[in-house]
Amino acid sequence: MQPLTQLDARGVPLPAEDIDTDQILPARFMHARRIDYGKYFFHDARADASFILNQPGYVGAQVLVVGPNFGCGSSREQAVHTLADFGIRAIVGTTFGDIFFTNCLKNGVLPIRADANFVGRLLSSVANRPEGHVQIDLIKQVVAAPDGDHVSFEIDAFQKEALVGGLDEINMTLRYAADIDAYERANGIR
């Protein structure tokens, strides 16, 4: 995973409620090899030239600003893989599907829960100013709209450490390899 400390990037407004993992990644692509997996990101919606992700002002965006219950539905981790491979580093919304939220954290995508008033203002801001950037400071746990409006957000300390270090759960565990080896030797496990 790529480390994430700060992000200053375009945001894409996706205000619809209940966008499920099958919309993010249609099921027929779930078993494709993870090579350029980003091409499947909102595949069916992107077939419509007017879809927001096809608009020139949002090309290269790395932040999604979403409506309530984003990522609901199935537990498929591949939906997050398409986000990451498309270049999305963070998602700002009020609520997320629980398993989707956890899968984001495990795959280097920062899901930020913010209050509905801020998310509403942020949705309007990125819709009206596609060139405007959303700024995220993971160290300080602050997200700011293009107009400077900002809020703090919460994140689990372990998940924050993993994202800042660019470490998945295996890498986090391997940092303790010497301690694990010493424990096993001391207790006759090896």
Ranking 119-128, 145-154, 181-190 by mean pLDDT, the lowest is 181-190
Superfamily of domain 6-186: Aconitase, domain 4 (3.20.19.10)
The mean predicted confidence, pLDDT, of the chain is 95
Beta strands in 16-149 (DSSP E): 63-66, 90-93, 110-113, 133-137, 142-144
pLDDT at 8: 98
pLDDT at 56: 94
Distance (Å, whole) CA 166 – CA 91: 17
Across 71-99, average pLDDT = 95
Q: Which amino acid is at 32?
A: A
Across 167-176, average pLDDT = 87
In the chain, where are the structural domains located?
6-186
b/e code 61-86 from CB counts within 10 Å (16+ = b): bbbbbbbbbbbbbbebbbbbbbbbbb
Beta strands in the chain (DSSP E): 6-14, 63-66, 90-93, 110-113, 133-137, 142-144, 150-152
Q: Which amino acid is at 179?
A: D
Across 21-39, average pLDDT = 92
Closest CA to 51 of 43, 39, 60: 43
Q: How many other β-carbons are positioned within 10 Å of the β-carbon of residue 189? A: 9
pLDDT at 121: 97
pLDDT exceeds 80 at position 190: no
Q: Is 20 helix (H, G, I), strand (E, B) or coil?
A: strand
Taking only the tens place, the pLDDT of each residue in 89-147 is 999 999 999 999 999 999 999 999 999 999 999 999 999 998 889 999 999 999 999 99
pLDDT exceeds 90 at position 70: yes
Entry pTM: 0.92
Band (pLDDT 50/70/90 cuts) for residue 175 is: confident
pLDDT at 167: 92
